[in-house]
Amino acid sequence: METFGVSGAAGFIGSNFTHFAIGKGHKVIAIDSLSYPGFLFNLEPWILKSRILGLKNGKDFSRVNFSIEKRHDRIYKKVFSNKVLCQIPDNKLKGYNITLFENKEDFTREIESFIESNEKLLFIIASITDEELINIILPHVNCFFNFAAETHVDRSILSQEEFIFTDILGTYNILKVLIKYKNVKKFIQISTDEVYGSSIEGSFNESSILNPSSPYAATKASADLLCLAFYKTFNAPAILIRPSNNYGPRQYPEKLIPLSIIKILKGEKVPIYGSGKQKREWIYVDDCVKGIYQVFLRGTAGEIYNIGSGFEIENLEVVQKIGNILGKNEDIYEFVKDRPSHDTRYFLNSSKIKSLGWEPETDFEEGLKLTVDWYIENKDLYIKIMESADFSSFYKLWYQKR
């Protein structure tokens, strides 16, 4: 059974994929910088009996958040100067048993000991932009899945540097290390349908032109091109996956569906951009994860695979459906100023991945009900996230102007 490297493993799709991969019997070396949407609890229960490691930057640093912050600071400064990329608040680490290593040799031995053990999950606090750490980790995996990315369009309108840093330079960093080693048989890069831009009718297939509208989509398109160029030039075993809008458990509540659920549960109104008539093709995260796994099993290096459900719906209708499930139909939304360069519609042709033997299994009504139930069950946790410093400051900055 292969050992997977999974970056962005504490985020939404990455954590759902990690659960699935462990269920399939794989060992997973999970990597995540624990930036704002990454949480160790997304990997529970596995994480509770797993080793969680970090590499200290220097002898002076006694606190994990400080040392890791410093690490990012150093790398970040190389590119954009003067800005700290990632800080891990203490409460994200509370209750977990984290071991920090002073030197690379001990750290590497810990990874080797995990490989020899019958443990399923090893978690490493690391950013994909950290070349030293990626260099240590990659020789121990057979297949690498890169879910790590800044993904929120609205944030990319407010500030672009984090997107350029993580989405482009982070991917480049993995590719650069990847071609040094021959043990990684497949490098699966999780991209997005947003690289194709908007289409009022018809669908995008894998050879449609790239026409990104947001800074976020532009950085993902850039990373895609790097992967394809590394495949052609250096034979890097890169495969691109372009999923449509995912929804389901463990999604950070800045995105439409979890935001709407929590807002309605709190008795607040959901902000609808513009007319609310924009359409998205929604795929339940479990279906997407299964598609990614199918690409691991049967996909070919240098190829691109769209993953869509074939189900599209207008934003306003999505919010109304959530209201219906929660038994609330009145005063649940308000129209706000539109997002600049707001894509009207995304829709994918997913026949290529279907030819690998994959089909979506969850219809929207069923998936939405499962998702709402999950957020009801975890309501207190998500209200806390929405009250956190990160979420509140973003919310104020973005929505106050709407």
Asked if 194 is an active-site residue, the reply is yes
All residues at 6 or more sequence positions from 226 whose CB lies less than 8 Å from its CB, including other chains: 168, 171, 172, 175
Shortest reach from residue 260's CB to ligand TYD, in Å: 8
36 or 107, CB closer to ligand TYD? 36
Closer CB to ligand TYD, 113 or 392, in the complex = 392
CA distances from 98 to 17, 54, 93, 119, 120 (A): 23, 7, 8, 16, 17
CB nearer to ligand TYD: pick between 64 and 262: 262
| DSSP class of 220 | H
Q: Residues interacting with ligand TYD, by CB under 6 A?
A: 153, 194, 245, 255-256, 259, 271-273, 278, 280, 315
Cβ proximity to ligand TYD, 71 vs 280, nearer residue:
280
Q: How far is the CB of 193 from ligand TYD (least distance, A)?
A: 9
Could you count the other beta carbons within 10 Å of the beta carbon of residue 267?
9
Closest distance to ligand TYD from the beta carbon of 216 (Å): 8
> Would strands 143-146 and 3-7 be described as parallel, antiparallel, or unpaired?
parallel
The 10 Å CB-count burial string (b at 16+, else e) for 235-244 is ebbbbbbbbb
Q: Which of 193, 224, 287, 343 is catalytic?
A: 193
| Rounded-to-integer distance, Cα 50 and Cα 40, Å | 11
Residue 216 annotated to the active site: yes
Q: Which is nearer to ligand TYD, 4 or 12 (CB)?
A: 12
Helix 256-265 to helix 379-387 angle, to the nearest 10 degrees? 100
Q: Which residues, 6 or more positions from 75, have their beta carbon under 8 angstroms from its beta carbon?
A: 85, 127, 129, 130, 131
- What DSSP line would sit under 73-128, residue for residue? HHHHHHHT-S-------HHHHTTS-EEEESSHHHHHHHHHHHHHSS--EEEEE--T
- Of 76, 172, 196, 216, which residue is the catalytic one? 216
37 in Cβ contact with 252 (< 8 Å): yes
Task: Please state the closest distance from residue 336 (CB atom) to ligand TYD, in A.
Answer: 7
For residue 193, indicate whether it is catalytic.
Answer: yes
Compute the least distance from the CB of residue 394 to ligand TYD, in Å: 11
Active-site positions? 193-194, 216
